[in-house]
Amino acid sequence: MILEQYPYVDDFGVAHTDMIKHWTDDPTKTMLQLETDVMYDVAIDLYPCQFTYKEVDAPEIDVSEVDAPKDE
């Protein structure tokens, strides 16, 4: 399920009435922003939010595709 926090409370405990936070409670899922097709674990948007989110399966990362440090 996608959860919302309004007003968004930052790491310092400050409430931002102009922002909203979205995240999923399922660790196997991520969020897809429907308007842009961009995936997020956590999204903090201006309020009122112009975006909608949908839970999708988190993509598996192929470590062979990740750039490894190059030996010099």
- pLDDT tens-digit profile, the chain (72 residues): 999 999 999 999 999 999 999 999 999 999 999 999 999 999 999 999 999 999 999 988 776 666 666 665
Could you tell me if residue 35 is inside a domain? yes
The pLDDT of residue 62 is 72
| 41 part of a folded domain | yes
> Which residues lie below 8 Å from residue 58, measured CB to CB, with a gap of 6+?
28, 29, 30
Instruction: Specify the number of domains making up the chain.
Output: 1
The per-residue pLDDT for 67 is: 66
pLDDT at 71: 64
pTM: 0.81
- What is the residue-wise DSSP string for 4-51? EESSEE-TTS-EETTEEEEEES-TTEEEEETTTTEEESEEEEESS---
Query: Which residues have CB under 8 Å from 47's CB, separation 6+?
Result: 6, 7, 8, 17, 18, 19, 20
Q: Which residue range(s) make up the domain with 22?
A: 2-59
